Amino acid sequence: MCGISLIYSLDRTIDFDLSIKQINRELHHRGPDDCGIYLGENFALGHTRLSIIDLSAAGHQPFVNQSEDLVIVYNGEIYNYLELKEELADYSFKSKTDTEVILAAYKKWGSDCVKRFNGMFSFVIFDREYNVFFIARDQFGIKPLYYYHSGDTLIVSSEIKAIFASGIVKPQLARDNVYEYFLDNYVKEPNTIFQGISTIEPGMHATYDIHSNSLIKCRYWDFSFSPDGTRSEEYWAERLEAAFKRSIKLRQMSADVDVGVFLSGGMDSSVITALMKENVDVLKAYTIGFNEKEYDESDSARTIAKNAGIEHTEVVLARDEFIREFDSIIAKMDQPSIDGFNTYFVSKYAAKNVKVSLSGLGGDELFSGYRYFTLIPRILKLKWLLNPFVTEFIPIKKLKLLASVPKTSTDLFELFMSTFTRDELCLLFRDEIAVPQNNEVFHPNILSELAIKNYMIPILLRDADVMGMANSMEVRFPFLDIEMFDIIARIPPSLKLNKGILHKVLAKYCPGKLFQRKKKGFVVPIKLWIKDVILANKVMVISVYRSIDMFNLSYIEKTLDQYLGSENPGFKQSNKAISLYVFAIWYDQLKKRYT
C-alpha cells in the first residue's frame, strides 16, 4: 500500500521537483518506509512506500524496467503475481516485487494486462516508446485514484489533498455535487465534491496521449450477475468454500510482513479469522469494543479468538478518546463522510504490531446480509394493494401511506440509505436544485448491485482506504476476490438471501451460536457521543454554512435542534445532524488550510 502521483504539464512556471516533493510529503502516511521521485521531460512521478512485498531496496519506486522504456508508480497488491510471473518467464526480473510483474505484464499484453490482475491496485505507467501515460484502477475500486485535467496539465494522485498540495490547483466546491453528499453520504464517481477533480472509476483504465493532451478512458471490467439455477446448492457451496479459502490464503500469504485480522465479532470477520489460523501458527487479531452494550460485540470476538487459539488485542473505545481525535480524523478525509470511524480506530491499534490486516467488508453486500434485502421485496409486494379493484377495501389513511411508498427497488433503496430525502434536500438548499431521477433495469440481483455500487464501493471502500492509510495500515478484503466473484455472480439470489449459503459453507468453522445472534454491525456509537459537541459548536456550524452561501440556515438550525432536543434520537435524525456537523468541520478545516 502506497501513495502515488503524476504531474504532467507544458506550463513552464511549474517547478516539477518542488511540486512532486510537496505531494510526497502530503502522502507520507500512505508510505512511511520510503519515498522517491522521477523527473522526466515536462513530467514528474512521485511515490511513498509502505513495504509489504520484497522489503529490499529493489522495491523502490518509481520503478524503471531494465530497458528503461517504462516507469511505474503503483499502489496496492496483485495477489496472483507469482502465477503471472510464471507466464512471463521470458522477462528478466531484477526484483521479487509484484510491481515489476505489472510492468512485465504491460510489456507483453499492453492495456489488456489489467484483465489478468487479481488484487487491489492503482498505478501510472509512463510508456516512453508511445509517449503515453497508462493509468489503471482495480475492478472494485479498492484503491483510489483521482485526477485533475485541464488543457495540457494532468495531475494524478491517490488522494485529492495531494493534488492540492502540488500548489498547481486550488480547491473549489462543486456546488452541484454538494447535494449528493447530503443525499447519499458520497458523490457519484467520476465526480467529486470539488470542481475539476475526477476519479478513474473502478474497473477502468485510461491513456493520456502527450501529443494530443487527450485522456481516453476505457472500461475493462464491470460486475454483472448471471444466476445459474440448474446447479444444486451443494454444487455452489463446494465451489464457494474452495474459492473463499483460496482468497484468504492469497491475501494472507502475499506479504513479507505479518498479516493480522480485524475481528469485530460478527460472522464475516469471525470466519475469516478461523480460516486464517489454518494457514499459520501465530495469528494476531484486533477488536474494538464499547461500553455501550447495544453496540458491543467484543464478547463474541473473545470467544472466537479463544477457540482459534490466536493472539487477541481488545481495546475498549471510550467517548473521550473518540471526541479528542474527532477533528483530526475529519482532517484526513478528502471528502466528508459520517462513516469509517470504526476502521480508523481498529487500524490505529493494529498498526502498532502489523502492517496488513484482513477485513470482512463485502460479505453483507454480496450475500444479502442487510435487513433491506428482505424488507424491500416485501414492500414492493404491497403494490398490488393499489389496484383499483381492491382500494375500496383499504382505509383511506393506509391507502395514502401506500401511495407515498416508492415503487421501484432503486427508489426504496435510496429511501433506506439516504441521509436527507429528496424533499428535505429542497428545504436544506436555498436555491432550487436538480436531483437526477433514478433509472432501474430490474433483475433478481438488483439489491446486491445497488449495495455494491451505491454503498460498498463509494463509502465503505473509500473510507476503509482513507482510515487505514491514515494509520499506515493496508486493509485487504477476501470477499472481494475477482475469481470468487465469478462464482458468487452465478449463485441464485434465493441461496444468498440472509447469507444462507454462506452460513451453510462456513458454519463448521465457527461456533453455531454465532450464526444465531442478531446482527449488530461494526459501528461506533457516534450518535450517543457527539451530541454535546454539536451543542457546544452550534454557533460555529451555522457560521460555516452562512459563509458558503447556498444553504437554508433556518432549516439547518431546526434539524440540529430536533436532534439536540431528543432524548433518544433515531437513526435518520441522528445522521442528518451528524452529516451537517461533519461537513461544517470538514469545510472549515479546508478553508483555513487553503485560504
Query: Could you tell me the CATH number of the domain that includes residue 183?
Result: 3.60.20.10
User: Is 58 among the domain residues?
Assistant: yes
User: Is 449 among the domain residues?
Assistant: no
- Residue of 2, 35, 113, 510 marked catalytic: 2
Tally of structural domains, the chain: 3
- pLDDT, residue 515, reads 59
User: Is 386 among the domain residues?
Assistant: no
User: Is 450 among the domain residues?
Assistant: no
Residue whose grid cell is 450517543: 528
- pLDDT, residue 432, reads 76
Distance (Å, rounded) from C-alpha 123 to C-alpha 200?
11
Q: 171 and 42, same structural domain?
A: yes
Q: Which pTM value belongs to this model?
A: 0.94
Least confident stretch, 69-83, 135-149, 493-507: 493-507
Looking at 193, 219, 245, the residue that finishes a domain is 219
Cell of 135: 493509468
User: Is 70 among the domain residues?
Assistant: yes
Q: 255 and 186, same structural domain?
A: no
Q: 210 and 317, same structural domain?
A: no
**In the predicted model, what is the mean pLDDT of the chain?**
92
Q: 300 and 262, same structural domain?
A: yes
Distance (Å, rounded) from C-alpha 455 to C-alpha 339?
11
Residue 574 has pLDDT above 60, yes or no: yes
Indicate which CATH number applies to the domain containing 503.
3.40.50.620
2 included as an active-site residue: yes
**CB contact at 8 A, 60 and 96:** no
Q: 95 and 180, same structural domain?
A: yes
Per-residue pLDDT tens over the stretch 338-347: 999 999 999 9
Residue 513 has pLDDT above 80, yes or no: no
User: Is 130 among the domain residues?
Assistant: yes
- pLDDT, residue 468, reads 97
Q: 185 and 260, same structural domain?
A: no
Q: 284 and 149, same structural domain?
A: no
Q: 561 is in which domain, residue-wise? A: 530-594
Per-residue burial over 142-181, b = 16 or more CB atoms within 10 Å of its CB, e = otherwise: bbbbbbbbeeebbbbbbbbbbbbbbebbebeeeeebbbbb
Q: 245 and 210, same structural domain?
A: no
Q: 247 and 344, same structural domain?
A: yes
**Angle in degrees, CA 190, 217, 490, rounded to 5:** 80
Alpha helices (H) along 43-174:
81-87, 98-109, 160-165
Residue 450 has pLDDT above 70, yes or no: yes
Residue 32 has pLDDT above 90, yes or no: yes
Q: 537 and 580, same structural domain?
A: yes
Q: State the pLDDT confidence band at 389, using cuts at 50, 70 and 90.
A: very low
Distances from the Cα of 197 to the Cαs of 64, 146, 206, in angstroms? 28, 7, 15
Per-residue pLDDT tens over the stretch 399-432: 444 556 667 888 889 988 999 998 999 999 998 7
User: Is 293 among the domain residues?
Assistant: yes
Q: 34 and 120, same structural domain?
A: yes
**CB contact at 8 A, 54 and 97:** yes
DSSP 226-268: ---TTS-HHHHHHHHHHHHHHHHHHHHHS-SS-EEEE--SSHH
Q: 245 and 207, same structural domain?
A: no
- pLDDT, residue 391, reads 46
Q: State the pLDDT confidence band at 568, using cuts at 50, 70 and 90.
A: confident
User: Is 379 among the domain residues?
Assistant: no
